[in-house]
Structure 1
């Protein structure tokens, strides 16, 4: 007699396609599952807060005087000495007084011309000097460069009186030439351009020399076209520095309607200072620089990045 064993039927399985989690994992709430690395990214974002906090504080300290200048300028003249940090009530009384008292448009035009000429002259001298330091090797090169850059460390107050006597003897008082002439050379500009020229490919200079170009043509036909971003950035920085200069223009330009720096000083008197007018005139003087920096800030940042000053 033969016995036949019948196996019980198999239970159906719920296994999904390969690579899919088990059904038990699918039954978990959707909110509990997070993409891989999300917790690490959140932790990394919070870890940056302690390092950014000092930068935020320093940024606030730097911006607050500018904010206070505009707030005071937009207040009525009677509230110029108010200590309320919030703006209001708004009034254009101070701006109207400034426009009626001093020729602000002519002052801004003269200041723009002075700053442009000074920046262009300093840029030209810096190009020639830095090209000489980077292109050729000569006796005493390092010593001369250190002395050249060391002049940047000499305080302006030390050379102010000799420069004033020289400008006075040349009959250049109350002229833009008298403001520009003693500041034709900028050691800062030479130092920055030399950093760019040191990294300039020597092969291009050698190829230009093999083509028969003299050094002067090599500078203007090979070097300058490849340094346009750096020259633009440095020119903007020199222009802003010349625009913000106060002591030397105020000393040379004795006429109160010459430059904006001198015109603002006209609101300071022995009988009292008109702080509302001073803030309004200062706000108008800052607007061109704000516009230049807003539209060309990429070149200003690029000047530091490309020069290696990080």
Structure 2
């Protein structure tokens, strides 16, 4: 027989509360560790130039001189606009290719289907440094070096995006697709009027991941833009010189670079959470 005495129930309740409190404490500590570098970034940007190396956790008195210095030395508005252009175009292109490819893999059966899907998996495992040189040679022949289009073009197909979307497509109810076909809709119409509206959360989650990846990319833009600091991440190196690093202005620009990504996440937060929750459901 199961012991259901009040003492046993009380012990179980106390144990559950202790486990819950421990879990919340662990999450709180993890959150602080994740947020602290961002806090320190803004704290350094808001210090006076003479206090930029201070170890004080509170930046006082506050100063905006680092932001004014950064605005004087680099074209922040132009860099942000260029970075937005590159990130949005790259994320949109990858999202569109991933959507179409995943739809084909999940909804159709065709020759060499498994082989092509394995090829996408293999592409995902190949480091970008391996394909960097062929991409650079191709862009040179096309005359796209030192251009924003040259940054975007090699990134328009994301193997990771295809793999993620394929999982969501495979879980999509086939009955809805069959019903739409019986109504006489074309495959193109089914994709945009039946499938896409039901995958908005997954598309939003993948879109923000692709956007953040393109927004934060430094290596490939540094290879393509040899004569200019055309994007925000390359603009940060303007504050690094032989005489030292201007930490205040650099942190000010880095802080401004974080704000658009944070704003995008806040806008799409509900869709992102729904996508990760539903991805674990059968």
Provide the residue aligned with 2:178 in structure 1: 206
Structure number with higher helix proportion: 2
1:190 and 2:162 equivalent?
yes
Contact preservation (8 Å) 2:105, 2:113: yes
Provide the residue aligned with 2:265 in structure 1: 293
Provide the residue aligned with 1:74 in structure 2: 46
Number of residue equivalences:
274
Provide the residue aligned with 2:82 in structure 1: 110
Q: Deviations over 1:80-139 (max 9, x none)?
A: 222333332321110110111111111111111111111110111001100011011233
What 5-or-longer segments of structure 2 have no aligned partner? 1-8
Structure having greater relative contact order (Cα 8 Å, sep ≥ 6): 2
Q: TM-score, normalised by structure 1?
A: 0.81
Provide the residue aligned with 1:232 in structure 2: 204
Once the two structures are TM-superposed, the CA of residue 69 in structure 1 deviates from its matched residue by 0.7
Contact preservation (8 Å) 1:103, 1:257: no
Contact preservation (8 Å) 2:200, 2:271: no
Once the two structures are TM-superposed, the CA of residue 222 in structure 1 deviates from its matched residue by 2.1
Contact preservation (8 Å) 2:146, 2:228: no
1:276 to 236, 240, 248: 248
What 5-or-longer segments of structure 1 have no aligned partner? 1-36
SS in 1 for 2:226: coil
Once the two structures are TM-superposed, the CA of residue 227 in structure 1 deviates from its matched residue by 2.0
Once the two structures are TM-superposed, the CA of residue 253 in structure 1 deviates from its matched residue by 2.2
Contact preservation (8 Å) 1:246, 1:261: yes
CA RMSD, Structure 1 to Structure 2 (Å)? 2.2
1:84 and 2:52 equivalent?
no
1:147 to 119, 122, 129: 119
Contact preservation (8 Å) 1:237, 1:300: no
Moved more, 187-196 or 219-228: 219-228
